[in-house]
């Protein structure tokens, strides 16, 4: 710990965290918010407290907690969002004097990665949430995390490029959800305002991915909020870098038509017009005088063709009616064809967008599941997905076949329904007819006569005499009870011993299987390295000494002269006498176990 004067609150919190359990640390770290937000702190005092927090490792504790499973924390996602906010405030304004390379090159990028991963998990749970209360909570926590990210790269400008190049940031931006998409576009807007030259620092593939997503949002949605945010981002990019305007006109040739047709009159015409002016200015500056000459030639040709047409119509007044009729018919036909073509194109575009959304949703789910699934379970997961796909195809095929058979059997189904209706009517008729019949008078059941009652009582008495009830004394009953208790205790004891024996057998089998697998996977002697020796060496000194003695004894036995091995003619080559080796099976070390 440092020897300089330390804030007593930070010192007490560090001591409390050191003595606390692991599950209580997240809630203790939340006390940093009260320490940092104290109204009596000035600029220098605040920086001193942040320096103490970093020196005592409390910021590292916050980062480690953010890397854990947040569903297992106390307070769950709310605690994780608050810790993200605290961590960003602790890093902004902090000037590390000892080992600044560790702080700026390793610690800050690790904080950015952890915050983006936390934001991705909150976004997934917000999309999956069903209740309004849960969605509001997850959206609030998601906004807290994004605000922490903005605060962090606002204090450290070099992190803006790190955020933009991160794969998790692109995954957060590629979403069809309106609320989270608007939040992520606001984060991108803050990045551009913080560092306008960041777009020239990132890779070309990353820049194209971001621009493709923004243009896709303009073309695939009709939400004014999403359109306004995407338009403002494109305008800010075009103003910050002239090279991007050239990229817009070359890569997205239909962007001008999309902006003018779909997003004009939606409440942000000022930004749309500014962006269109930049695009048209870039286009006109490239064409120059050649475009003006081309337009002038088109005007002259149109005037000349009109003059020739009017002159021909004056000479042929009788053909005017026929010409008009044919013109109107042709125009109507062209309009019909154009309308049909537009409908087909709209339907095709809608189907393509639905397919793209489905594919994007599928890829998002795959990415989310691949983050959760362990690497050893990927093949099993892919096999399960193939089985589910096969079941889906079979289900659709069976449904189609059942519908086809149903249409073929429609006539027989009508006959069956008609028969059911007739049977139902007949049953109702018979039921009404049965109810109209008069009921027969009630007859009292016949009872037993006195003679029958006496004969039955005599039979009962004779049976009791022939089969008297056995009576048992109290001592005999107690003795039988003690015998039963003894047998029950013996059975329970034997059952407990059998269970322990079974557990011992299972443990031995598991140990044998592990040792066999380790031996089977061991490399050959020619390929063995020093790292492989550690897997077959025991940490216990007596076991290692015993193994070394057994090995030396085995080598000594192989070097014996032939006259010392005269009694071993009938032994196998791999078998060595126990008295020569003087070792036991339980002391042999295999794979880190005795």
The burial of 592, by beta-carbon neighbours within 10 Å (0-12 exposed, 13-18 middle, 19 or more buried), is given as middle
Closest CA to 186 of 198, 197, 176, 172: 172
The percentage of residues in the chain with a pLDDT greater than 90, rounded to a whole number, is: 13
State CA 488 to chain mean position distance: 54
Average pLDDT of every residue of the chain:
80
The percentage of residues in the chain with a pLDDT greater than 70, rounded to a whole number, is: 86
Question: Which whole number is the average pLDDT over 12-24?
Answer: 76
Lowest mean pLDDT across 50-59, 160-169, 215-224, 527-536: 527-536
Contacts of 123 (CB under 8 A, 6+ apart): 142, 172, 175, 177, 180
Quick one: pLDDT at residue 426?
Answer: 94
pLDDT tens digit string along 439-466?
555 556 567 788 888 999 999 989 888 8
Question: Which whole number is the average pLDDT over 543-558?
Answer: 83
* The pair of three-digit structure tokens given for residue 255, joined into one six-digit string: 């962007």
pLDDT class of 7 with cuts at 50, 70, 90:
confident
Report the range out of 129-133, 231-235, 335-339, 434-438 with the highest average pLDDT: 335-339
pTM of the predicted structure, to 2 decimals: 0.46
Rg over CA atoms, the chain: 44
Closest CA to 232 of 177, 176, 193, 198: 193
* Cβ pair 161, 169 in contact under 8 A: no
pLDDT tens digit string along 450-506?
888 899 999 998 988 888 766 677 888 889 999 999 999 999 999 999 999 999 899
* Cβ pair 222, 182 in contact under 8 A: no
Quick one: pLDDT at residue 310?
Answer: 81
Question: Which whole number is the average pLDDT over 160-167?
Answer: 82
Please check the confidence at residue 581 and state whether its pLDDT lies above 50. Answer: no
pLDDT tens digit string along 268-300?
888 888 888 887 777 666 555 556 677 788 889
Please check the confidence at residue 173 and state whether its pLDDT lies above 50. Answer: yes
Quick one: pLDDT at residue 391?
Answer: 93
Rounded-to-integer distance, Cα 341 and Cα 318, Å: 35
Sorted by where each begins, the domain ranges of the chain are 8-202, 540-568
Quick one: pLDDT at residue 286?
Answer: 53
Quick one: pLDDT at residue 3?
Answer: 41
Question: Which whole number is the average pLDDT over 363-371?
Answer: 78
pLDDT class of 570 with cuts at 50, 70, 90:
very low
Rounded-to-integer distance, Cα 512 and Cα 591, Å: 10
pLDDT class of 335 with cuts at 50, 70, 90:
very high
* Residue, of 301 and 539, whose pLDDT is higher: 301
Question: Which whole number is the average pLDDT over 315-323?
Answer: 73
Please check the confidence at residue 22 and state whether its pLDDT lies above 70. Answer: yes
pLDDT class of 539 with cuts at 50, 70, 90:
low
Question: Which whole number is the average pLDDT over 54-63?
Answer: 78
* The pair of three-digit structure tokens given for residue 191, joined into one six-digit string: 């990045």
Quick one: pLDDT at residue 424?
Answer: 93
Question: Which whole number is the average pLDDT over 68-94?
Answer: 77
Please check the confidence at residue 422 and state whether its pLDDT lies above 90. Answer: yes
Closest CA to 275 of 298, 320, 244: 244
pLDDT tens digit string along 553-563?
888 888 888 77
* The pair of three-digit structure tokens given for residue 369, joined into one six-digit string: 């599941």
Lowest mean pLDDT across 103-117, 232-246, 388-402, 529-543: 529-543
Please check the confidence at residue 243 and state whether its pLDDT lies above 60. Answer: yes
Quick one: pLDDT at residue 5?
Answer: 61
State CA 321 to chain mean position distance: 70
pLDDT tens digit string along 521-536?
777 777 777 777 666 6
Please check the confidence at residue 588 and state whether its pLDDT lies above 90. Answer: no
H helix or E strand, kind and range, residue 156: none
Please check the confidence at residue 382 and state whether its pLDDT lies above 60. Answer: yes
pLDDT tens digit string along 197-208?
787 788 888 888
The stretches of 467-540 forming alpha helices (DSSP H) are 474-520, 530-533
Backbone angles phi, psi at 526, to 5 degrees: -70, -25
CA angle 345, 349, 350 (to 5 degrees): 120
Lowest mean pLDDT across 70-74, 351-355, 422-426: 70-74
Question: Which whole number is the average pLDDT over 226-237?
Answer: 85
State CA 444 to chain mean position distance: 77
């Amino acid at each position: 710990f440092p020897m300089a004067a330390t804030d007593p609150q930070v010192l007490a919190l560090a001591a409390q965290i050191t003595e606390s359990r692991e599950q209580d640390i997240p809630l203790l770290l939340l006390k940093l918010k009260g320490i940092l937000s104290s109204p009596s702190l000035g600029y220098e005092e605040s920086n001193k407290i942040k320096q103490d927090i970093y020196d005592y490792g409390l910021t590292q504790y916050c980062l480690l907690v953010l890397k854990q499973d947040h569903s297992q924390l106390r307070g769950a996602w709310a605690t994780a969002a608050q810790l993200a906010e605290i961590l960003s405030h602790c890093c902004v304004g902090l000037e590390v004097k000892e080992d600044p390379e560790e702080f700026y090159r390793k610690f800050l990028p690790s904080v950015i990665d952890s915050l983006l991963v936390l934001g991705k998990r909150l976004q997934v749970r917000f999309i999956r949430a069903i209740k309004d209360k849960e969605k509001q909570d997850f959206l609030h926590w998601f906004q807290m995390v994004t605000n922490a990210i903005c605060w962090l790269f606002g204090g450290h400008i070099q992190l803006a490029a790190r955020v933009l190049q991160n794969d998790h940031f692109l995954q957060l931006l590629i979403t069809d959800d309106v609320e989270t998409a608007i939040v992520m576009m606001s984060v991108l807007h803050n990045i551009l305002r913080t560092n306008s030259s960041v777009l020239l620092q990132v890779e070309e593939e990353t820049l194209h991915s971001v621009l493709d997503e923004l243009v896709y949002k303009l073309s695939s949605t009709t939400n004014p909020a999403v359109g306004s945010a995407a338009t403002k981002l494109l305008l800010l990019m075009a103003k910050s870098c002239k090279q991007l305007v050239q990229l817009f006109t070359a890569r997205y040739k239909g962007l001008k038509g999309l902006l003018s047709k779909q997003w004009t009159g939606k409440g942000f015409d000022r930004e749309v017009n500014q962006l269109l002016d930049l695009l048209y200015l870039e286009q006109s500056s490239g064409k120059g005088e050649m475009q003006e000459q081309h337009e002038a030639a088109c005007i002259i040709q149109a005037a000349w063709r009109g003059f020739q047409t009017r002159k021909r119509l004056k000479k042929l007044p009788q053909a005017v009616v026929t010409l008009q009729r044919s013109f109107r018919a042709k125009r109507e036909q062209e309009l019909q064809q154009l309308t049909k073509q537009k409908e087909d194109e709209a339907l095709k575009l809608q189907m393509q967008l639905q397919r793209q959304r489905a594919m994007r949703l599928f890829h998002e789910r795959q990415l989310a599941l691949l983050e959760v699934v362990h690497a050893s379970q990927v093949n099993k997961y892919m096999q399960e997905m193939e089985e589910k796909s096969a079941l889906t195809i079979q289900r659709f095929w069976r449904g189609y076949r059942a519908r086809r058979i149903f249409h073929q059997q429609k006539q027989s189904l009508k006959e069956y329904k008609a028969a059911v209706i007739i049977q139902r009517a007949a049953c109702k008729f018979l039921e009404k007819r049965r109810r109209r019949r008069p009921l027969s008078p009630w007859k009292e059941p016949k009872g037993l006569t006195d003679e029958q009652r006496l004969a039955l009582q005599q039979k009962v008495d004779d049976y009791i005499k022939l089969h008297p009830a056995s009576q048992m004394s109290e001592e005999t009953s107690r003795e039988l009870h003690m015998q039963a208790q003894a047998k029950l205790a013996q059975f329970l004891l034997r059952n407990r011993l059998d269970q322990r024996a079974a557990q011992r057998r299972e443990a031995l089998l598991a140990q044998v299987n592990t040792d066999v697998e380790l031996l089977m996977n061991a490399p050959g002697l020619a390929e063995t390295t020093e790292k492989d020796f550690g897997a077959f060496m025991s940490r216990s000194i007596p076991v290692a000494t015993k193994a070394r003695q057994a090995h030396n004894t085995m080598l000594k036995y192989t070097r014996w002269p032939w006259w010392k091995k005269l009694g071993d003619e009938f032994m196998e080559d791999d078998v060595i006498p126990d008295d020569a080796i003087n070792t036991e099976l339980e002391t042999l070390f295999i794979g880190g176990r005795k």
